[in-house]
Amino acid sequence: MTIRSTGGRIAAYAWLAFAVLNLADLAFGVTGRRHYTLTTATIAVLLLLGCGIAYVIGLRPAILGDEQGVTVRNPLRDVRAPWRAVREVQGTHALTVRFAGPGGTELKTRAWVHQTSPRAQAKAEARARRDEGAKVPGAALKGRTPAAYAAQQLNEIRDRQRSRARSGAPDRAAAAKAEQDGAADATGTVSWSLPAVAALAVPLVALVALAIVAAVG
């Protein structure tokens, strides 16, 4: 299961195409004579910074679910939690995952993908209740946000994996004990994404360096 923002990806690819065309023009003078100046270098770095932002905001964020666990990939950080460590998956105006962290702590992450404003969520629920009262087909689905649907899918995967783990045990008592022991040892992790940080940090450092050169010159 992989969930991404279609609109964010389209916008990111559109910017990348725009940036590539402009960088090619700066490098090879497609639309005119080439000028390698400090201004040209600054424009190129700004285009690269925009590419980094497009990657971090438009292409990176995702919600991934598999047989082992759930991954929430936000702009700069990654959260990975095995199903045994997941305590709760909820979806209202945003998808949230509550899970056991290192050292017995309890952590909670909020997905960047499929966020809806509380006001829009309230309007959708009110419209769904109105349609349900009028017996309109599919009224219940209208009040469900994309985050709620994603949470439902993740919970289904989680329940399916737990049922499979129980069925493999000799009996219910052994299954319950194995699941309890596994849950005690399982923990989720939160880590910074080095490619995402570099995609923003490198152009920013280059931009600062160009500003210093311009000030000194």
Question: What was the pLDDT predicted at 134?
Answer: 54
Judge if 29 and 84 occupy the same domain: no
Judge if 141 and 113 occupy the same domain: yes
Whether the per-residue pLDDT at 157 is higher than 80: the answer is: yes
125: confidence class by pLDDT, cuts 50, 70, 90: low
Judge if 78 and 167 occupy the same domain: yes
Strand order in the sheet with 77-82: 2-3, 62-65, 69-73, 77-82, 189-192
Judge if 117 and 137 occupy the same domain: yes
Q: What percent of the chain has pLDDT over 90?
A: 59
Asked which of 47-51, 101-105, 129-133, 154-158 is least confident by mean pLDDT, the reply is 129-133
Judge if 130 and 34 occupy the same domain: no
Judge if 69 and 9 occupy the same domain: no
Judge if 81 and 103 occupy the same domain: yes
Judge if 86 and 165 occupy the same domain: yes
Judge if 45 and 83 occupy the same domain: no
Question: What was the pLDDT predicted at 136?
Answer: 46
Give the whole-angstrom CA distance, residue 87 versus residue 83. Answer: 8
Q: Domain containing 176: what range?
A: 62-192
Average pLDDT over residues 140-150: 72
Does the pTM of the predicted model rise above 0.85? Answer: no
- Residue 148 CB burial class (10 angstroms; 0-12, 13-18, ≥19): buried
Helices (H), the chain: 6-28, 38-53, 118-133, 139-142, 146-167, 172-185, 194-216
